[in-house]
């Protein structure tokens, strides 16, 4: 029995904060005037204020739809402004300059206006070949193509979707906490039609399901506050090779993209090893990284009145083409998939058991909220932002913080803005160890019979929502 109250927790900002704020690194399009906005802006929180070389180059290739081997980073010679020299990956893998140019091999940097994507929805996923066993692989850049995550075979094959992901992960895959957790989608539910158009179901465990986007290989268990930050594009997961390590030695770490004034986010999570992550698709995780880049903070390029060459995906014709537009028209072309029509429809009216249902059967899918340009909802759970169902709901609906029946608009546009973004503190450039989970010695393993050890609460955790009687 305790004889005195326990001391208050130490605020993370005190324990993990730093007086040095991350700085921004700017990437320019060399064929546009110096008055044009930056092509890409990324926060440098690695080492002594640097930025990972692989992440920077991959990001530039994504937003310009450039082949991985065709793009390169360059700087101008100090003695002249009419010549570039290519930047080779440094021995420690860290870029330390403040301004770089992204160029395409075989093209004159000063005259070739390579196209830029107006939004994530115009990005086409780079599919690759199939392995000898028939497993599909994406055509990914280094070190993504060398990233291998352990498979997971559930002892209960009847489980699928959210229930299977809960059975696999048990605790938050970043913090290790087991309370207040739910499933986060890698490719968000708001991008369901992009998912279908790019045939991403090939990377799912059950590709023939009506709602393959809710497959367990597209789900990751996170604590609800981290889920909210994940959906607000504040951080993501990336493979990182530290120093001169080869690509196959890359480690999967959390990467803070938008500190947004937080005194603790970088110190707590940047370059942090997660808990063991298994059973998810590397290709779907890469798609999540690409989705996280398309914000106004990262891509201010189309924000002026200049004429730009953009690459547009024509869904009706199934082809991409280049088009010259003025900056103000970019917003109008950003959304090509109507999220209000992405609601799934069940092929059977019969009610199935909770243990085999997908997320979309618990809460109706779709997003009927208008895109009014308001980004104040970005802190909310993207996967919980669905239109309210007609009639009496079968389940209580909760937002990412456990409040019931919150009608929160979703990310209706694939190109959004996170208001009030500003840099914050940073740690050193080394990878941080995983956060120590609380009470891990008390977690009972899930048995193949479907019940957890001890009092069985682990098995009951599969059902996040309580059924109304």
For residue 144, is it within any domain? no
Give me the residue label for tokens 């390169």: 72
pTM for this predicted structure: 0.76
Give me the residue label for tokens 């004889």: 3
Decide if 291 contacts 187 (C-beta within 8 A): yes
| pLDDT of the residue at 393 | 45
For residue 213, is it within any domain? yes
Are residues 195 and 321 located together in one domain of the fold? no
**CA quadruple 126, 130, 131, 133: dihedral sign:** positive
Are residues 273 and 304 located together in one domain of the fold? no
Are residues 202 and 247 located together in one domain of the fold? yes
For residue 292, is it within any domain? no
Are residues 254 and 364 located together in one domain of the fold? yes
For residue 59, is it within any domain? yes
Bridge partners (DSSP) listed for residue 309? 324
The Cα 9–Cα 31 span in angstroms is 53
Model confidence at 438, pLDDT cuts 50, 70, 90, reads low
- Number of domains, the chain: 2
| pLDDT of the residue at 155 | 86
Are residues 250 and 373 located together in one domain of the fold? yes
- Higher-confidence residue of 163 and 415: namely 163
For residue 432, is it within any domain? yes
**For residue 421, is pLDDT > 90?**
no
Decide if 207 contacts 164 (C-beta within 8 A): no
Model confidence at 433, pLDDT cuts 50, 70, 90, reads confident
Q: In this structure, what token pair is assigned to residue 234?
A: 């504040």
**pLDDT for 223-250, tens place per residue?**
999 999 999 999 999 999 987 788 778 9
Query: Within a 10 A sphere around the Cβ of 172, how many other Cβ atoms?
Result: 26
Cis omega (within 30 of 0) for bond into 187? no
Mean pLDDT for all residues in the chain: 79
Are residues 321 and 424 located together in one domain of the fold? no
The Cα 438–Cα 433 span in angstroms is 15
The Cα 281–Cα 217 span in angstroms is 5
Are residues 210 and 78 located together in one domain of the fold? no
CA angle 295, 298, 301 (to 5 degrees): 95
Query: Within a 10 A sphere around the Cβ of 8, how many other Cβ atoms?
Result: 6
Contacts of 164 (CB under 8 A, 6+ apart): 154, 205, 216
Are residues 255 and 365 located together in one domain of the fold? yes
Are residues 244 and 379 located together in one domain of the fold? yes
Decide if 73 contacts 96 (C-beta within 8 A): no
For residue 128, is it within any domain? no
**pLDDT for 243-284, tens place per residue?**
778 877 899 999 999 987 787 899 899 999 999 999 999 999
Are residues 234 and 304 located together in one domain of the fold? no
Are residues 218 and 155 located together in one domain of the fold? yes
Q: Region 6-33: what's the mean pLDDT? A: 84
Domain that holds residue 233: 149-277+338-344+352-445
Q: Which of 377, 84, 424 is nearest to 259 (CA)?
A: 424
User: What radius of gyration do the chain's Cα atoms show?
Assistant: 23
């Amino acid at each position: 029995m305790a004889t005195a109250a326990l001391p208050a927790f130490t605020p993370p900002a005190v324990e993990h904060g730093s007086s040095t704020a991350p700085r921004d690194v700017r990437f320019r399009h060399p064929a546009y005037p110096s008055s044009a906005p930056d092509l890409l802006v990324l926060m440098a929180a690695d080492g002594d204020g640097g930025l990972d070389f692989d992440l920077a180059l991959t990001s530039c290739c994504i937003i310009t739809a450039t082949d991985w081997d065709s793009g390169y980073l360059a700087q101008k010679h100090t003695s002249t402004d009419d010549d570039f020299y290519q930047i080779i990956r440094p021995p420690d893998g860290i870029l330390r300059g403040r301004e770089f140019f992204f160029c395409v091999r075989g093209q004159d940097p000063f005259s070739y206006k390579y196209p830029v994507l107006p939004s994530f929805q115009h990005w086409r996923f780079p599919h690759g070949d199939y392995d000898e066993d028939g497993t599909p692989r994406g055509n990914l850049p280094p070190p993504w193509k060398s990233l291998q995550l352990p498979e997971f075979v559930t002892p209960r094959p009847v489980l699928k979707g959210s229930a299977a992901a809960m059975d696999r992960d048990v605790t938050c895959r970043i913090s290790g906490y087991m309370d207040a957790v739910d499933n986060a989608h890698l490719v968000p539910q708001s991008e369901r039609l992009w998912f279908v158009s790019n045939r991403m179901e090939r990377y799912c465990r059950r590709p023939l399901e009506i709602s393959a986007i809710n497959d367990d290989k597209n789900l990751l268990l996170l604590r609800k506050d981290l889920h909210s930050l994940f959906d607000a594009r504040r951080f993501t997961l990336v493979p990182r090779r530290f120093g001169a390590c080869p690509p196959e030695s890359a480690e999967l770490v959390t990467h803070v993209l938008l500190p947004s004034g937080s005194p603790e986010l970088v110190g707590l999570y940047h370059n942090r090893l997660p808990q063991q992550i298994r059973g998810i698709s590397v290709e779907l995780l890469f798609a999540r990284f690409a989705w996280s880049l398309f914000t106004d903070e990262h891509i201010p390029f189309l924000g002026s009145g200049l004429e730009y060459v953009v690459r547009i995906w024509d869904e009706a014709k199934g082809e991409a083409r280049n088009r010259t537009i003025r900056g103000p028209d970019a917003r109008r072309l950003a959304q090509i998939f109507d999220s209000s029509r992405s609601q799934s429809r069940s092929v059977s009216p019969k009610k199935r058991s909770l243990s085999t249902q997908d997320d979309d059967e618990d809460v109706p899918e779709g997003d009927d909220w208008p895109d009014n340009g308001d980004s104040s909802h970005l802190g909310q759970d993207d996967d919980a932002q669905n239109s309210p169902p007609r009639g009496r709901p079968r389940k209580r609906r909760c937002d990412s913080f456990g409040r019931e029946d919150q009608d929160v608009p979703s990310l209706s546009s694939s190109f959004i803005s996170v208001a009030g973004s500003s840099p914050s503190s940073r740690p050193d450039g080394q990878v941080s160890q995983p956060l120590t989970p609380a009470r891990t010695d008390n977690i009972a393993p899930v048995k193949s019979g479907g019940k957890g050890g001890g009092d069985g609460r682990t098995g009951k955790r599969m059902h996040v929502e309580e059924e109304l009687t």
